[in-house]
Structure 1
């Protein structure tokens, strides 16, 4: 049980650090003339991620306080996703954010995982929303948030691609890149 709590606390601390990085990057980007898009769905995304942790704690630690017997596998996969997340963050640098903030006429980042996939961070988040509940045997949380995440990503990716295509070289740079599994179809201008 103590390892489950430690694991959860580490995840929550990581998310808080990411929010701090995002706020710093947002301030810098806006000082450079960046514009924000998708504000209407952003609150829903934050609410969904907050609800994920509430449900995970309720189901995984309170109702069924046991880690999966396969927890070493789930923790190993989680660590791999975090390595991929660091790759995403370091590839984007000051352009990484939890919000859709786009610097007009900026050259789109096409290094790191962006050489292969248009939205690697969303693939990572999707994997986390599967792996973390599996580590806690929180199957209701798993199924509920797998569905909610895909709904949010369908809205978000369309909004993000529309913004990037409108004011950057995104369309040319990313046209041949894989969008990822379960992501929405191409967006038209």
Structure 2
């Protein structure tokens, strides 16, 4: 389990890096008149993502989940792909990327990068990671619970984000 603990801790460190980027981007957006939406669901999202990481480690340890080699290595690849997609989103949105829903009035909606094909590619990364990270080491219960709760949260989050983005001009084809 030592290498799995290191993987989960690496994902946790990546999350902390995201929060640093998000805090910087929040200041940037608010300085330009950005408007935040969806404050009510944000604490639930933070709690759910924290519980995912804790659940991965707890289930593997206390339920004595073994490493399933075939599934496990495929899930490692999915976790890596999810991180790549997430950072592609962050890079594409630049200072507009955030863990919160903040829209700067007058800036056009980004339609480049992964946003060319998907409206919410970051949430694809979150869903993939939330399923794959626990399954790397057979933590199927954590994968199931996170996926179900995340799906419900994403319904709320995407409605909020779509509502906020509806006020923006349609085109910004940054890559």
Taking structure 1 as the reference length, the TM-score comes to 0.86
Give, in angstroms, the shift of residue 9 of structure 1: 1.2
Aligned residues of 1:81 and 1:128 also touching (Cα < 8 A): yes
- Give CA-to-partner distance per residue, 1:93-152, whole Å, 9 cap, x none: 000000000001111111100000000000110000111011021111111111100000
The CA distance in 1 between the partners of 2:33 and 2:103, in whole Å, is 9
4+ residue runs of structure 1 moved beyond 3 angstroms? none
Give, in angstroms, the shift of residue 65 of structure 1: 5.1
Give, in angstroms, the shift of residue 66 of structure 1: 3.2
Whether 1:25 aligns to 2:25 is yes
Aligned residues: 171
Partner SS for 1:64? coil
Give, in angstroms, the shift of residue 89 of structure 1: 0.9
- Give 2:147's aligned residue: 146
Give, in angstroms, the shift of residue 92 of structure 1: 0.4
The CA distance in 1 between the partners of 2:58 and 2:108, in whole Å, is 44
The CA distance in 2 between the partners of 1:158 and 1:9, in whole Å, is 31
- Give 1:135's aligned residue: 136
Whether 1:68 aligns to 2:101 is no
Of structures 1 and 2, the one scoring higher in RCO (CA 8 A, sep 6+) is 2
- Give 1:55's aligned residue: 55
- Give CA-to-partner distance per residue, 1:38-74, whole Å, 9 cap, x none: 0001111111111112221110234325332222221
The CA distance in 1 between the partners of 2:36 and 2:95, in whole Å, is 15
Taking structure 2 as the reference length, the TM-score comes to 0.92
